[in-house]
Structures are given as structure tokens and as C-alpha cells.
């Protein structure tokens, strides 16, 4: 709002109104500038800074924000404290696994050196052993399946009593009429999806062994082998739906030359993890859409807990009868970490002063400290439940009060305002994990399961499957 000095009114009330409007516009513009500066610093950190999140330990010197009322001082007592014995880790090289095959090579001295200068024969009193780890490169071999043929020389040409030539039936193959054995197919599939080794790299590896296997051939093997695994997929899906809780996540992927879709259209790989809490199963499903109908179709008539991020498509799950939706504290924490990353740092400040985001991270860090303690102690599910009720629940109540108190004091469009709003919007889902000791505080289990696929995906490999 630009006003010429000659056009300014003479009365004071009008001037005050103009000044108030200018101040309001200045405040809005300044908030926008601060937000854009935060985004620039965050993007610079993403490009040039640390990629992984640094694990923060709660500040032991910081006083609790909501301290309980002080109790009257108690008389001093001399108490004998018994410290539990603990195992101390010994530094040094770990011994090699005993189940590995061992080949012994003896480096003995020459026979003429086994006689002492006095003329007596030297006696062996011991030995010095040093184990070295060796690697034998993979071997490529050809298996010749030989099936002898038999016939009767005395009745050749007689067909009334059956065929004149008898031969053993061919061995069963995962892919009929293919040159690949089940071992080679398993190696290609595991290398691609578990080890993140794209097919074009495998092609180069095979070429070093003198094999000319095109990517089209390798991709065809992967597709045909996946078709043979459908019965196993059904068993895995039933096992996941039979567990107490399911983790779900999805990641975008581009598919080239897919019929009816452009090369720039995003598709999605969905991941479902569940089943026995001690031995969980993982299923990957490709879908061209991110619609919430995808997880609903997978869940079917499942009843139990489902954990995911706060993507709007998962709201369909929350409205499904018999489903309890869990939130992910890792996502809530990540928003506050972004605030710290984007914070403006003054030159020379090695330890910048703590802000509200650091206080939020201290709350969340205390929650994760409790989870690590439960894991290190190998607590049962009932014990984990009790621990969360006694220690995690009070921290959550304090953190909720902190979020409510600071929401009104924080610009809503800034990174900190969005982080606080995210936590409040998903609060009811974030606190569900304390209801059952089997539940997890975050969705990292399925995110870790999807990471090998994300690291190893190669769009050229996927394009071949559709060619």
C-alpha cells in the first residue's frame, strides 16, 4: 500500500488507521521472508549438510519444564546401595565364526633347521595360529541334464504295446525351457531386490565371467519367477493379516513404457509388514496409484492396529471398523529436526542457544530413551506396557501441554508452527502406542524394509519389464 505524502489525510484517526494497516502488511511480509529464509537454509542443508538425522541425547542438565511440586526435605539417611554387576566390552578384533570351513596351511621350518647346534633334535613345543578370512569368487557352471533313451531292438516299429523309445521325464523347472536354474534365478532376484544391484550391473558382472546375458533376458526371468511365487505371496499376506498390528508405507517410482501411462507419471511401491511380532513378514505391491483404496484392499477384513505416516490417503483406514490407526513419532520428530537444520546460525557460535524446537526434541528424545531401555533389558510385552504407563505417559502429557502453550505463540506458516500443528493434528494417533506393549513408537520397521528397494531401484530395469 503506497501512499503519497500529499495524499495523506489531516485527521489523526485516519493516519493511525493507515499506520496500523502498514504495520500489519509489514508483519505479514516479514513472516513470509522468515519462512522463505528458513526454506533456503533447509534446502542448503539437504544439499550440502548431513543426510542422516543426528541422534540427540536429552540434556541431563535441563530442568523439566513442568516440574512436580517440591516435597518437604527428608532427613538424611545412610543407605547402602548395591550396584549390579555388568559386563564390560573388550576391545579388539572379533573372532571369526566357528561354523565357517577352515583350510589349514602349515608353514614349517626346513628339516635341516630342526637340529640344534649341539647335535640334538629340536622338539615341537607348540604352534602359533593366525586366522585369515578368504573369499572365493562365485563360480559359473553348466549343469548337463542327461536323459538316456531306451528302445527294444527286437520289436522296433511296433506301437501297439506303447512307445518304442523310453526316456525319463525332464526335471521340474521353475521357468520351463529356460537355461536358468533355480539357483541362478534366486541369485538374480535377491541381488536386485535385497542387495540393491540393478540388472544392468548384474549384466556387467556376468560379462566378466564370459556370459552374454542381456537385461531383457534377466528382466524376463524376474517377471516369470515372480509369477511362480504367487502362492508364497498369498501365504505371506495371510500371515501379515494374522498378526496384531501392520505397518504400511509407500514410495514413488517411475515406470517407463508402461501401457497407457506417460513416463513422467508417478507410480508407487507399497510395503506391508506384519505377522508374528518376533518374525514379521514383508510384502511389496506395485500400484499405479497412491489411493487409500490400496491398503483397504490389502487389509480386507483385518481387525487390529495399523501404523503409518500422516498421508491423507490413510484416513480411509482410520474410518474402517475394527481398525485402530497409529501415528509415527519419527515423522513428528523429523519436522522439529528440520527447524533446527534451518535455524539461522551466527558466525562463531559453535553451540547456538536452544530454541523451542530443541525443547520439543528433548521431549521426544526422552520417549525414545525409554524405548531403548526396554529393548536393552529384553522386557516382555506386559513389562513394556507397564513401563510406558509409568514413564512415557507423563512425558506425553507434559509435551501436549507444551504444544498447546506454544501453538499460539508461533507463526503458523513457519517450520516450527507447522511442526507443532502436525503433532497436534495427529496427537490421538501418536499416543496409541502406549496402549499395547507389542506396538512400536514409530513406523521405522516398514521404512527400513522399503529402503533396499529405494536404494536399488533403476528405472531402466523397470522399463524393460513393460517392453
Interior/surface letters 393-428, b for 16+ CB within 10 angstroms, e for the rest: eebbebbbebbeeeeeebbeebbbbbbbbbbeebbe
- Residue 64's pLDDT is what? 46
- Residue 455's pLDDT is what? 63
If DSSP codes are grouped into helix, strand and coil, which group holds residue 327? coil
Cα separation, 386 vs 367, whole angstroms: 14
CA atoms 439, 441, 443, 445: torsion sign? negative
Residue with cell 550396584: 83
Which of 336, 407, 345 shows the shortest CA–CA distance to 367? 336
Q: Cα–Cα distances in Å, from 249 out to 77, 376, 402?
A: 55, 27, 30
Q: Cα–Cα distances in Å, from 110 out to 105, 117, 127, 466?
A: 15, 15, 16, 67
CB atoms within 10 A of CB 295: 25
Residue with cell 586366522: 131
Partner residues linked to 377 by β-bridges:
none
Q: What is the pTM of this model?
A: 0.71
Between 22 and 360, where is the model more confident?
360
Which of 285, 292, 291, 276 shows the shortest CA–CA distance to 241? 276
- Residue 95's pLDDT is what? 86
Residue 284, classified by CB atoms within 10 Å of its CB into exposed (0-12), middle (13-18) or buried (19+), is middle
Task: Assign 74 a pLDDT band (cuts: 50, 70, 90).
Answer: very low
- Residue 464's pLDDT is what? 40
Cβ(193)–Cβ(444) under 8 Å? Answer: no
Mean pLDDT of 411-418: 86
Q: Cα–Cα distances in Å, from 124 out to 113, 207, 322, 466?
A: 12, 50, 75, 69
DSSP characters over 72-106: PPPPP-----PPPP-PPPPPSPPPPPTTS------
pLDDT for residue 328 is more than 90: yes
Query: Which of 229-238, 306-315, 337-346 is the least confident region?
Result: 337-346
Q: Domain 230-327+443-467: which CATH class?
A: alpha beta
The number of C-alpha atoms within 13 Å of 376 and in the hemisphere containing its C-beta is 7
Which of 287, 215, 221, 278 shows the shortest CA–CA distance to 250? 287
Cα separation, 268 vs 311, whole angstroms: 14
Cβ(384)–Cβ(374) under 8 Å? Answer: yes
Where exactly are the structural domains of the chain?
174-228, 230-327+443-467, 329-345+353-441
- Residue 451's pLDDT is what? 76
- Tens of pLDDT, residue by residue over 7-55, are 667 777 777 777 777 777 777 777 777 777 766 766 766 666 665 565 5
pLDDT for residue 109 is more than 90: yes
* C-alpha 105, offset from chain centre: 43
CB atoms within 10 A of CB 367: 22
Highest mean pLDDT among 81-90, 380-389, 409-418: 380-389
CA atoms 230, 219, 266, 49: torsion sign? positive
Cα separation, 56 vs 366, whole angstroms: 10
Amino acid at each position: 500500500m503506497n501512499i503519497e505524502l500529499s495524499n495523506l489525510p489531516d485527521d489523526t484517526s485516519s493516519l493511525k488507521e493507515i499506520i496500523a494497516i502498514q504495520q500489519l502488511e509489514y508483519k505479514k511480509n516479514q513472516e513470509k521472508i522468515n519462512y522463505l529464509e528458513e526454506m533456503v537454509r533447509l534446502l542448503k542443508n539437504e544439499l550440502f549438510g548431513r543426510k542422516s538425522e543426528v541422534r540427540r541425547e536429552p540434556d541431563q542438565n535441563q530442568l523439566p519444564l513442568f516440574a512436580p511440586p517440591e516435597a518437604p526435605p527428608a532427613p538424611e539417611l545412610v543407605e547402602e546401595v548395591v550396584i549390579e554387576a555388568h559386563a564390560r566390552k573388550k576391545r579388539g578384533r572379533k573372532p571369526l565364526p566357528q561354523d565357517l570351513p577352515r583350510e589349514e596351511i602349515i608353514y614349517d621350518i626346513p628339516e635341516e633347521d630342526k637340529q640344534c647346534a649341539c647335535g640334538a633334535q629340536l622338539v615341537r613345543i607348540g604352534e602359533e595360529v593366525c586366522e585369515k578370512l578368504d573369499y572365493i569368487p562365485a563360480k559359473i557352471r553348466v549343469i548337463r541334464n542327461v536323459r538316456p533313451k531306451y528302445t527294444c531292438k527286437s520289436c522296433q516299429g511296433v506301437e501297439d504295446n506303447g512307445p518304442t523309445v523310453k526316456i525319463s521325464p525332464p526335471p521340474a523347472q521353475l521357468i520351463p525351457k529356460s537355461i536358468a536354474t533355480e539357483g541362478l534365478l534366486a541369485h538374480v532376484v535377491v541381488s536386485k531386490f535385497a542387495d540393491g544391484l540393478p540388472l544392468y550391473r548384474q549384466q556387467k558382472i556376468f560379462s566378466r565371467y564370459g556370459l552374454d546375458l542381456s537385461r531383457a533376458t534377466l528382466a524376463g526371468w524376474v517377471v516369470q519367477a515372480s509369477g511362480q511365487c504367487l502362492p508364497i505371496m498369498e501365504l505371506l499376506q495371510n500371515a501379515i493379516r494374522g498378526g496384531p498390528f501392520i505397518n504400511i508405507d509407500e514410495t514413488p517410482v517411475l515406470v517407463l513404457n508402461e501401457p497407457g501411462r506417460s513416463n513422467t507419471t508417478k507410480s508407487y511401491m507399497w510395503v506391508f509388514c506384519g505377522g508374528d511380532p518376533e518374525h514379521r513378514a514383508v510384502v511389496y505391491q506395485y500400484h499405479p496409484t497412491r489411493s487409500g483404496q490400496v491398503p483397504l484392499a490389502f487389509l480386507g477384513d483385518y481387525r487390529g492396529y495399523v501404523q503409518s505416516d500422516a498421508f491423507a490417503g490413510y484416513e480411509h483406514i482410520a474410518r474402517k471398523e475394527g481398525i485402530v490407526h497409529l501415528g509415527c513419532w519419527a515423522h513428528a520428530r523429523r519436522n522439529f529436526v528440520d527447524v533446527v537444520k534451518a535455524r539461522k546460525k551466527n558466525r562463531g557460535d559453535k553451540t547456538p542457544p536452544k530454541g523451542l524446537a530443541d525443547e520439543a526434541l528433548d521431549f521426544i528424545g526422552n520417549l525414545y530413551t525409554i524405548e531403548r531401555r526396554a529393548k536393552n533389558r529384553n522386557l516382555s510385552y506386559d513389562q513394556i506396557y507397564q513401563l510406558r504407563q509409568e514413564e512415557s505417559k507423563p512425558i506425553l502429557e507434559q509435551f501436549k501441554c507444551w504444544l498447546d502453550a506454544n501453538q499460539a505463540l508461533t507463526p503458523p506458516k513457519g517450520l516450527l508452527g507447522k511442526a507443532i500443528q502436525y503433532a497436534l493434528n495427529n496427537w490421538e494417533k501418536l499416543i496409541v502406542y502406549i496402549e499395547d506393549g507389542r506396538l512400536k513408537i514409530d513406523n521405522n520397521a516398514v521404512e527400513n524394509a522399503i529402503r533396499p528397494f529405494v536404494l536399488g531401484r533403476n528405472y531402466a530395469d523397470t522399463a524393460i519389464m513393460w517392453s
